[in-house]
């Protein structure tokens, strides 16, 4: 992804052409209209949307561009502000529709049917210090272990371990009014503006389940849901498995307050680890046990599902361990560990958005509607780069030409291919310099004497002089 970014950012005009090609290919204008982003008069919505996407290629802001007289757009900054602050546009629905279109039309056709697809959920801290910014709340940043004001951007992405596409997001605030720095403006609870404000004050496990339901309803699909220990509660995992029929692979908290049914008893994860003998030697995992995930209400078990817990040695501290849980009992422990590794793609998404796509610094508006618009713009920027990356590095997106070339190359061995290349090179030298056969033999012998011994042995039978 970093290579693609450096290439794109150096050619601004080429990058702008890429943006417009993406919007045309996936009919973004039609999707915007479906989500109430349209105007009766004035500048077309798509024209403003394109400008906002292309801002990632500009080293200065719109305000500064106007200050130094480099702003060339026909519309004013007030037009941009009105567009971003429009509370009637359903940006969440737009992102779900666009991501489904990108995955269905572009990602999936270029991917083997055997490749596993994942939903990945995680959050990232985003500091926002404005005293008048809506719903800014005090939260604990577990990255730098301090309290700060801002949001936790809860995000849902789709990945096939090669490419990633953002599907939905929610800036998490707080339902506790004492932690809010600025209360939200009053909105009709039935409106889009009211719904997104209410959602941001709900608990993260409930939002995750809601985002997954909406994604599946719109047409998204995957085999697994991945998340880290921050969201891995028995209640949340059970709900995803039972209500959505999706398997979960997640890291577990080392908590003494969360219990699992093991050997007929309700015990915590630390107790299970101490009760069993660990695997000796250099095994990829220390321990694997089958448990039942239980959901208690009023100290009674109301539901349970089978799951497997795999204890893995912590690489950063060899004396420590981490625990992974999988609701899919048909895969091996090694496969559980490998598939959980796909969760790292969302960390790449967060880093790219913050470092390259202006997630943190571009939007200074106190409006929650403008902030929602900004998060959508950043997600679409990442989609464009993801499509561009796959187009540049994955030959299968070329289409039929790839399969025609592949059919020829498969029949040719590696060594024979090198022999053909050397034959062509030597014939070119013979014709260009018009040297005699004796000189040609001497040139070839000198060339081969400079090769390593194993290449001389391998290539001599293949080359015809």
Hey, CA dihedral for 172, 177, 179, 180, is it positive or negative? positive
Residue that has been written with the tokens 């991945």 in this structure: 226
For residue 363, pLDDT over 50 is answered with yes
For residue 263, pLDDT over 60 is answered with yes
Residue that has been written with the tokens 């809010």 in this structure: 180
Where does the pLDDT of residue 237 fall: very low under 50, low under 70, confident under 90, or very high at 90 and above?
A: very high
Contact 388, 19 (CB under 8 A): no
Where does the pLDDT of residue 465 fall: very low under 50, low under 70, confident under 90, or very high at 90 and above?
A: very low
| Residue 436, CA distances (Å) to 354, 427, 431, 445 in order | 63, 12, 10, 14
pLDDT digits (tens, 9 = 90+) for 92-109: 999 999 999 999 999 998
* Better-scored residue on pLDDT, 125 or 68: 125
pLDDT digits (tens, 9 = 90+) for 411-444: 344 556 666 777 778 788 888 888 888 888 888 8
pLDDT digits (tens, 9 = 90+) for 36-56: 998 777 889 999 999 999 888
Token duo for residue 73: 């757009």
For residue 33, pLDDT over 90 is answered with yes
Considering only CA atoms, give the Rg of the chain.
28
What pLDDT score was predicted for residue 18? 85
Where does the pLDDT of residue 2 fall: very low under 50, low under 70, confident under 90, or very high at 90 and above?
A: very low
For residue 291, pLDDT over 90 is answered with yes
What pLDDT score was predicted for residue 416? 60
- Kindly report the average pLDDT of the chain as a whole number: 85
Distance of CA 439 to the CA centre of its chain: 59
Burial status of residue 63 (CB atoms within 10 A of its CB: 0-12, 13-18, 19 or more): exposed
Q: What is the mean pLDDT of residues 114-134?
A: 91
pTM listed for this prediction: 0.81
Contact 156, 211 (CB under 8 A): yes
């Amino acid at each position: 992804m970093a290579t693609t970014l450096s290439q794109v950012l150096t050619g601004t005009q080429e990058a702008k052409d890429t943006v417009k090609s993406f919007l045309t290919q996936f009919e973004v204008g039609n999707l915007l209209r479906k989500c109430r982003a349209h105007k009766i008069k004035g500048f077309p919505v798509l024209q403003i949307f394109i400008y906002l996407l292309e801002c990632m290629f500009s080293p200065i802001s719109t305000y500064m561009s106007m200050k130094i007289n480099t702003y060339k757009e026909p519309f004013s900054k007030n037009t941009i502000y009105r567009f971003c602050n429009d509370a009637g546009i359903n940006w969440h629905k737009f992102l779900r529709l666009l991501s489904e279109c990108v995955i269905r039309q572009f990602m999936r056709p270029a991917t083997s049917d055997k490749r596993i697809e994942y939903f990945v959920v995680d959050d990232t801290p985003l500091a926002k210090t404005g005293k008048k910014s809506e719903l800014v709340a005090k939260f604990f940043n577990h990255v730098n272990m301090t309290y700060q004001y801002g949001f936790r951007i809860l995000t849902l992405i789709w990945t096939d371990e090669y490419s990633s596409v953002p599907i939905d997001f929610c800036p998490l605030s707080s339902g506790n009014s004492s932690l809010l720095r600025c209360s939200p403006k009053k909105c009709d609870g039935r409106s889009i503006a009211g719904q997104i404000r209410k959602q941001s004050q709900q608990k993260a496990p409930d939002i995750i389940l809601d985002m997954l339901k909406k994604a599946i309803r719109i047409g998204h699909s995957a085999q697994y849901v991945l998340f880290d220990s921050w969201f891995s509660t028995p209640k949340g995992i059970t709900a995803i498995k039972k209500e959505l029929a999706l398997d979960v692979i997640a890291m577990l908290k080392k908590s003494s307050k969360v219990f699992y049914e093991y050997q007929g008893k309700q015990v915590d994860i630390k107790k299970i680890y101490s009760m069993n003998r660990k695997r000796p030697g250099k095994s990829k995992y220390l321990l694997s046990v089958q448990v039942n995930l239980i959901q208690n209400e009023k100290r009674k078990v109301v539901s349970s599902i089978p799951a497997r817990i795999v204890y893995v040695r912590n690489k950063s501290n060899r004396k420590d361990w981490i625990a992974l849980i999988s609701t899919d009992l048909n895969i091996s422990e090694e496969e559980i560990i490998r598939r959980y590794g796909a969760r790292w793609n969302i960390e790449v998404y967060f880093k790219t958005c913050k470092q390259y796509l202006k997630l943190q610094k571009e939007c200074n508006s106190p409006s929650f509607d403008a902030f929602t618009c900004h998060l959508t713009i950043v997600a679409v920027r990442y989609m464009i780069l993801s499509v561009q990356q796959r187009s540049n590095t994955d030959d299968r997106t070329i289409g039929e030409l790839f399969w025609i070339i592949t059919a020829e190359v498969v029949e040719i061995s590696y060594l024979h291919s090198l022999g053909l290349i050397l034959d062509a090179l030597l014939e070119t030298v013979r014709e260009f310099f018009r040297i005699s056969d004796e000189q040609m033999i001497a040139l070839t012998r000198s060339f081969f004497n400079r090769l390593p011994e194993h290449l001389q042995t391998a290539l001599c039978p293949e080359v015809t002089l």
